[in-house]
Chain A
Amino acid sequence: MKRETTSRILRTLPREKAFYFFTTIGNYTGESASSLKEFVEKINEVNVKSLEFHFYRGDFKKWVAEVLQDKELAEELRKLQETSLSGNLLRNQLYAVVSKRYKELHTNVVH
């Protein structure tokens, strides 16, 4: 992967492009992620209801594909969506997939 593509995916986004975590329609938790790094951290912090809400609506996949422009991670999230996980199992799997991708990209930039 080109270095500039990696940098684009890892960039810090402006407020209006960040991901805002909700638990249900219109109920914002106060947590947001402005980068892939922050997104990884928030997966472990936010209410699991928020993860379930966004995950099955396809919000994470959409944000990753359209805002971060990481098609590979979006595809991984799509596959995960087929497993119908919930609760902490979902949190753990989501964390595993997203943090693995973050480490790959981060290593690519550093070396």
Chain B
Amino acid sequence: MKIRNNAFALDATDLRILEALQDDARQTYTAIGKRLGVAHSTVYDRIKRMERHGIIKKYTAIIDAEKAGAKNITAIMTIFTNPKESEKVAEKLCEAPQVLEVYTSLSEELLIMAKVVAENQESLHAFIANSVAPLPGVLRIRTSIVTKKFKETQFSTVNNPKKLTFIKEKNNKMGENKL
């Protein structure tokens, strides 16, 4: 396992371990080893090293909020900002517990996109009117309330473009060997 710029260059075994953990983080080292055809001690070492280097941030539970009884609404806010103030606006948004995700984007204008949850439309409006609109640098806000969720997933080694490249390269090499 190589370390480059404080980051690992993950090999195929690491990626497969991550994939197995993302599938079920509660499975044992032995089970993962069996699945991948490697020793459980290898799995243990790799996982511990990836934990130490922050590649594996934490193990958590994915909760179905609806089944847990929470009747929240989700909305996506697009905040048009003065470029000089946008960083501060984004940082302020990060402090609010009802804001789940914050992104900036450079399109025609500088935008901040944020995913926010609220108990109902009224509390969503109150939050935006009292806590977001007054922030210095906010020019205007567009908010879309989510009506139906088609997909929601965490970052996965499966959808990591780097990994796809890795597989492609590996396949090419295998092809070359055959020739």
B-binding residues in A (CB < 8 A): 15-16, 18, 20, 22, 25-30, 32
Q: Can you list, as one digit per residue, whether each of B120-151 has a CB less than 8 Å from chain A (1) or not (0)?
A: 01001100111011101011111101000000
A27-B143 in contact (CB<8A): yes
How many pairs of residues, A versus B, come closer than 8 Å at their CB atoms?
A: 42
The binding surface of chain A is classed by DSSP as: strand
Knowing A25-B124, A26-B75, A26-B124, say if A20 contacts B134 (CB, 8 Å). Answer: yes
The answer to whether B136 and A15 touch across the interface, beta carbons within 8 angstroms, is yes
Interface size grouping (class) on chain B: 20 to 34
Q: Which residues of B contact A26 (CB under 8 A)?
A: 75, 77, 124-125, 128, 141-143, 145
Are the C-beta atoms of A28 and B145 separated by less than 8 Å?
Answer: no
Q: How far is the CA of A25 from the CA of B141 in the complex (A)?
A: 10
Bound form: Cα–Cα A26–B78 in Å: 10
> Nearest Cβ in chain A — how far from B166, in angstroms?
42
Q: Which residues of B contact A20 (CB under 8 A)?
A: 129, 133-134
CA distance A26 to B133 in the complex (A): 9
A16 shortest CB reach to chain B, Å:
5
Q: What are the 6 tightest A-B residue pairs by CB atom distance, in nearest-first order?
A: A26-B143, A30-B140, A28-B141, A20-B133, A15-B134, A25-B125
